Amino acid sequence: MKRLWFVLLGLMVGCSTQESTSDPCVGSECEGLCEDFHPGLRVLWGDLHVHTRISFDAYFFSSLNGPEEAYRFAKGQPAGIVCDDPDTECGTLQLDRPLDFTAVTEHAEFLGAFSTACGGDMPDLACGPVGALIRDSVDDFIQGDNPIDAELIESLFSSIPDPDTVWEDVQAVTEAQNDPCAFTTLHAYEYSPLINGSSMHRNVVFLGDVLPRHAISLFDTESEWELFDSLEAECGNIEGCDYLTIPHNSNLADGRMFLPIGTPFAFAGRDNQPLTPEDAALRAKSDRMVEIIQLKGQSECMAGFGFDGLGSDEMDAACYFEQNKPICTGAADDSPRCKPIEESLCTTVTGDPTAASEPRDCSSPLDFVRGALGEGMRARASLGSNPYQFGFIGSTDTHNGIPGAVDEQGFNGHGGVIDADPATRLGEWSCAIDDPECTVRVFERSVAFSNNPGGLTAVWAEENTREAIFAALKARRAYATSGPRIEVRTYGRRAPFPADFCVRLEAGETPVEQGEVDAVPMGSVLPAGDGAPSLAAWALQDPGGSAPGAPLERIQVVKGWIDAEGVVQTKVFDVAGQADGPEPRPDCSIVTGGRPEQLCVTWTDPELEAARDAYYYVRVLEQPSCRWNTLQCLELGVACDQLDAATGTFASETGWAGWEGCCDIEGAPGSFTGTNRFDLVQERAWTSPIWHEAS
Name the most confidently modeled range: 77-81, 85-89, 444-448. Answer: 77-81
Kindly write down the DSSP assignment for every residue of 218-274, as one continuous string.
TTT-SSHHHHHHHHIIIIITSTTEEEEEEEB-GGGSTT-SS---STT----SGGG-P
Based on the fold, state whether residues 60 and 143 are members of the same structural domain: yes
Judged against a pLDDT cut of 80, whether residue 436 lies above it is answered with no
| 3-class DSSP assignment, residue 508 | coil
The C-alpha atoms of residue 56 and residue 114 are separated, in whole angstroms, by: 6
494, 534 Cβ separation under 8 angstroms: yes
360 pLDDT above the threshold of 90: no
Query: What is the C-alpha separation between 239 and 498, in angstroms, rounded?
Result: 43
**153 and 290 share one domain:** yes
| Domain co-membership, 139 together with 205 | yes
Is 513 found in the same domain as 649? no
| pLDDT, the chain, mean | 86
Per-residue pLDDT reduced to its tens digit, 215-270: 999 889 988 999 999 999 999 999 999 999 999 999 999 888 998 886 555 578 88
Residue 628 has pLDDT above 50, yes or no: yes
- Amino acid residing at 630: T
Task: Please tell me whether residues 152 and 243 are part of one structural domain.
Answer: yes
Q: Which residues share a beta bridge with 287?
A: 245
pLDDT, position 26: 59
Same domain, 186 and 300: yes
The CA radius of gyration of the chain, in Å to the nearest whole number, is 25
**Domain containing 121: what range?**
46-394
Give residue 17's pLDDT: 39
Same domain as 259, residue 161: yes
pLDDT recorded at residue 21: 42
Peptide bond into 264 cis (omega under 30): yes
Question: What DSSP state is assigned to residue 18?
Answer: S
d(Cα 78, Cα 417) in Å, to the nearest integer? 19
Is residue 466 domain-resident?
A: no
Task: Name the residue among 278, 193, 205, 269 with its Cα closest to residue 235.
Answer: 205
Across the range 506-512, mean pLDDT stands at: 91
230: left (phi over 0), alpha (psi -120 to 50) or beta: alpha
Does 664 score more than 60 pLDDT? yes
Could you count the other beta carbons within 10 Å of the beta carbon of residue 154? 13
Task: Tell me the pLDDT tens digit for each residue of 87-138.
Answer: 677 889 999 999 999 999 999 998 988 888 786 655 555 677 777 777 666 6
pLDDT band at 15 (very low <50, low <70, confident <90, very high): very low
Same domain for 658 and 536: no
Least confident of 123-137, 439-453, 622-636: 123-137
Clarify whether residues 380 and 440 are in a common domain: no
Taking alpha carbons only, the member of 197, 176, 168 closest to residue 106 is: 168
Residues 346 and 216 in one domain: yes
Does residue 382 belong to any structural domain of this protein? yes
31-56 confidence digits (pLDDT tens) = 789 998 888 789 999 999 999 999 98
Residue 461 domain-assigned? Answer: no
Measure the CA–CA gap between 71 and 129, rounded to whole angstroms. Answer: 31
Q: In the chain, how many domains are there?
A: 4
- Residue-level pLDDT at 5: 33
Whether 287 is covered by a domain: the verdict is: yes
Q: Is residue 496 part of a domain?
A: no
- Please indicate, yes or no, whether residues 278 and 302 belong to a single structural domain of this protein: yes
Asked if residue 371 belongs to a domain, the reply is yes
Is 138 in the same domain as 284? Answer: yes
Q: pLDDT over 70 for what percent of the chain?
A: 85
Handedness of CA 600, 601, 602, 604 (dihedral sign): negative
**Each residue's pLDDT tens digit, 295-331:** 999 999 987 665 444 544 456 888 889 988 877 655 4
Cα–Cα distance for residue pair 98/70, rounded to 1 Å: 12
CA 296 to chain centre: 8
**pLDDT at residue number 30:** 72
pLDDT tens readout for residues 596-619: 899 999 999 999 888 899 999 999
Q: What is the mean pLDDT of residues 530-543?
A: 95
Distance CA 131, CA 114 (A): 9
pLDDT > 60? residue 144: no
